[in-house]
């Protein structure tokens, strides 16, 4: 079978996987296609943590025809018992002749063991077909499974002159409806959404996902050093999604008790006066929040960038000029003395959303702290 056919079917498997982004919790998204005699006889996608993996769905569809077939899967089949049985054994039992894998699994519980098991069973294995696409698709999983830390995506919306609101504070709306719908899709695809208390006090947001087809609501995370969260805020009163407040030891104990009594989880990170953001990311990882969409104002966004805690940036820019020397800006960084010290954005990409453009890339100073596998 030539490389064109392998890439053709792997492309289909990756497209299937991408449709499940946001549905699988801290698990990766995986797609699988089973092919025999030039026909697709089974397709599958991992849809929810704790349920059947993509290979199982695809092989169930293929049935007895899977014997002698080629299995295309976007991530190395698992070889261990977790919440579901190992996929390797399911492939072996189906008597597949060949398995084509996009990339190996970074999970230390798998990490090449699945490929070895398939080869031991006499199955031909090929690895690396569209592997970079697969790694990018699961970039949040890859970080979480190897570090225990959430993958943080910073999103901002600004005018051409770099303002996120007018000098009066008015920010409705900076960007187009198409951009705002794209942002709600981002909420659907992230496990948590994080803002600072300033955003809550100014806007009283719901931080839910609003799409034409109902989406998944992320956990709402508020960085609130002094615990100024009003008990009447929407994030406290509505039950659309859990709310987590990250605060400090110096915050008011009685307010903490009142918020917890109202159903809010309060997490203490640092003595104060500011939240220890590095510790906060570790605590969110321990809560199995594997990806975070940072939709904060300039202060928190700048602090996260300064700390090297932002993995990816999505900058929506509208073709508008608002002016105002004191109008809010997306990032309040501590500032560098030389241009050579500036945070550079790598792997830059550009997309259009209505009249807006979106720049995406990865800050060169992002941290990668190996903390070991925390997923059980």
For the record, the structure tokens of 67 come out as 């014997």
The answer to whether residues 120 and 88 touch, using CB atoms and an 8 Å cutoff, is no
Residues in contact with 367: Cβ distance below 8 Å, sequence separation at least 6, in sequence order: 307, 308, 309
Q: How many C-beta atoms surround the C-beta of residue 220 within 10 A?
A: 25
Catalytic residue list contains 67: no
**Separation CA 78–CA 258 (nearest Å):** 44
Sheet strands (E) in the chain: 31-36, 39-45, 70-73, 98-101, 124-127, 151-159, 192-196, 219-223, 243-247, 265-268, 291-294, 312-318, 345-353, 356-363
| Residue count of the chain | 376
- SS3 at position 211: coil
**Residues comprising the binding site for Zn(2+)?**
53, 78, 87
The Cα-based distances of 110 to 9, 84, 90, 196, 238 in angstroms read: 24, 14, 15, 37, 40
**Separation CA 122–CA 246 (nearest Å):** 52
- SS3 at position 101: strand
Which residues are catalytically annotated?
55
């Amino acid at each position: 079978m030539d490389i064109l056919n392998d890439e053709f079917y792997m492309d289909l498997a990756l497209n299937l996987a991408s449709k499940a982004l946001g549905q699988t919790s801290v698990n990766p998204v995986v797609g699988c296609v089973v092919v025999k005699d030039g026909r697709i006889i089974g397709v599958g996608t991992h849809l929810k943590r704790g349920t059947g993996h993509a290979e199982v769905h695809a092989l169930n569809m293929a049935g007895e025809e899977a014997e002698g077939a080629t299995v295309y899967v976007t991530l190395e089949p698992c070889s261990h018992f977790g919440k579901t049985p190992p996929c390797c054994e399911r492939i072996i039992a189906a008597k597949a002749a060949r398995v084509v894998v996009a990339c190996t699994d970074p999970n230390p519980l798998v990490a090449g063991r699945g490929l070895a098991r398939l080869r031991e069973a006499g199955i031909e294995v090929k690895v690396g077909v569209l592997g970079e696409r697969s790694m990018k698709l699961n970039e949040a999983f890859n970080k979480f499974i190897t570090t225990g830390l959430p993958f943080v995506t910073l999103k901002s919306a600004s005018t051409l002159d770099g303002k996120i609101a007018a000098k009066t504070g008015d920010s409705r709306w900076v960007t187009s409806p198409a951009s705002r719908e794209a942002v709600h899709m981002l909420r659907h695809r992230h496990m948590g959404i994080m803002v600072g208390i300033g955003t809550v006090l100014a806007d009283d947001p719901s931080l839910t996902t609003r799409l034409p087809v109902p989406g998944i609501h992320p956990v709402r995370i508020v960085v609130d050093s002094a615990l100024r969260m009003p008990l009447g805020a929407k994030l406290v009163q509505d039950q659309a999604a859990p709310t987590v407040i990250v605060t400090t030891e110096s915050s008011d104990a009685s307010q903490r008790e009142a918020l917890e009594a109202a159903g809010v989880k309060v997490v203490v990170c640092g003595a104060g006066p500011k939240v220890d953001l590095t510790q906060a990311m570790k605590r969110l990882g321990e809560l199995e929040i594997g990806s975070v969409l940072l939709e904060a104002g300039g202060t928190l966004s700048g602090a996260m960038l300064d700390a090297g805690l932002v993995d990816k940036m999505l900058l929506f820019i509208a073709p508008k000029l608002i002016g105002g020397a004191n109008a809010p800006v997306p990032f309040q960084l501590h500032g560098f003395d030389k241009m050579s010290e500036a945070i550079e954005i790598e792997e830059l990409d550009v997309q259009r959303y209505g009249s807006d453009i979106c720049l995406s890339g990865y800050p060169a100073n992002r941290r990668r702290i190996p903390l070991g596998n925390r997923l059980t």
